[in-house]
Amino acid sequence: MRLESKVAVITGGSSGIGRESCLLFAQEGAKIVVADVNDDGGQETVDLVTQAGGQAVYVRADVSKAADCERMVTTAEQEFEQLDILFNNAGIMHGDDGDAVSTSEEIWERTLDINLRGVFLGCKYGIPALRRAGGGAIINTASFVAVMGAATPQIAYTASKGGVLAMTRELAVIHARENIRVNALCPGPLHTELLMNYLDTDEKKQRRLVHIPMGRFGQAREMAQAALFLASDESSFMTGSEFLVDGGITSAYVTPE
């Protein structure tokens, strides 16, 4: 198994990429701390993991709050003795996030609190635990919009994910000699509740689909498989990367320098 004897904290574990990653990581031998604010969904993920023969616990964690991020890391060490993998995956995409003129300061601040501050706080408390374990892997969920603009305006989301990508690069450089690898998973448009709620009309969905060379939305399970690669020793010489899993969208529209 690719993650045998590893312990992983996965934020946003109640649904989407987070839940699929919890299930897949556990299948590959990892013990899982499911972190989320959705208690019912988080516990359901734990139940799914345990029913499949894995080990998991749920911890309620609002990643925008330092105490919650500290608690989810402490839970990993208390329940499973160590932390080897930190998957900073939790994020929001607000329906009122538009262009710079129309987006309110409240939406801007809330989006950056969860999507960017949450990654910072996860790393702030997770990195000392990874050091205690002798190293490990951090995966930060960014987005293809960190590399290119979105066809449907979502300025706060795009800015937050650009920040995640930049922060990932710096953390990777800082901690490379400590056996701590830090990579950014950059999904393309996915058929998840998060995006489908945002693209709430057929017109908005088609506006995204038309740009994807593969002609379909990605699936959360496909992102979990990419995250598994970044978490495992198979990516042992990768750090500071932007791992694009996007159906070809950035290849079609981003011109190499």
User: What's the pLDDT tens digit per position in 13-40?
Assistant: 999 999 999 999 999 999 999 999 999 9
Could you give the percent of the chain with pLDDT greater than 70?
A: 99
87 assigned to some structural domain: yes
48 assigned to some structural domain: yes
Crossing angle for the helix pair 39-51 and 16-27, nearest 10 degrees? 20
Distance between CA 251 and CA 11 in Å, rounded? 29
pLDDT of residue 243: 97
252 assigned to some structural domain: no
Distance between CA 257 and CA 255 in Å, rounded? 6
What 3-state class would DSSP assign to 162?
Answer: helix
* pLDDT tens-digit map of 133-175: 999 999 999 999 999 988 788 999 999 999 999 999 999 999 9
The domain that contains 145 carries what CATH number? 3.40.50.720
Average of per-residue pLDDT across 66-72: 98
CA distances from 161 to 19, 93, 114, 154 (A): 20, 11, 11, 11
pLDDT of residue 151: 77
195 assigned to some structural domain: yes
Q: Where are the alpha helices (DSSP H) in 28-117?
A: 39-51, 66-80, 105-112
Give yes or no for a contact between 147 and 186, defined as CB atoms under 8 angstroms apart.
Answer: yes
Q: Which of 220, 221, 218, 242 shows the shortest CA–CA distance to 230?
A: 242
Average of per-residue pLDDT across 222-230: 98
Give the residue with greater pLDDT, 190 vs 165. Answer: 165
* pLDDT tens-digit map of 202-221: 777 777 777 888 888 899 99
Number of domains in the chain: 1
User: Which residue among 58, 125, 157, 198 is the active-site one?
Assistant: 157
pTM here is 0.94
Segments forming the whole domain that contains residue 104? 7-242
pLDDT of residue 119: 98
Q: Is the dihedral of CA 243, 235, 217, 90 positive or negative?
A: negative
247 assigned to some structural domain: no
Mean pLDDT rounded to a whole number for the chain: 94
Distance between CA 192 and CA 185 in Å, rounded? 16
To the query of whether residue 58 is one of the catalytic residues in this protein, the response is no
Distance between CA 156 and CA 158 in Å, rounded? 6
Token duo for residue 194: 């998060």
pLDDT of residue 95: 87
23 assigned to some structural domain: yes
Strand-pair category, 56-60 with 7-11: unpaired
pLDDT of residue 192: 75
Average of per-residue pLDDT across 110-119: 98
45 assigned to some structural domain: yes
pLDDT-derived band at 256, boundaries 50, 70, 90: low
Give yes or no for a contact between 186 and 244, defined as CB atoms under 8 angstroms apart.
Answer: yes
pLDDT of residue 252: 87
251 assigned to some structural domain: no
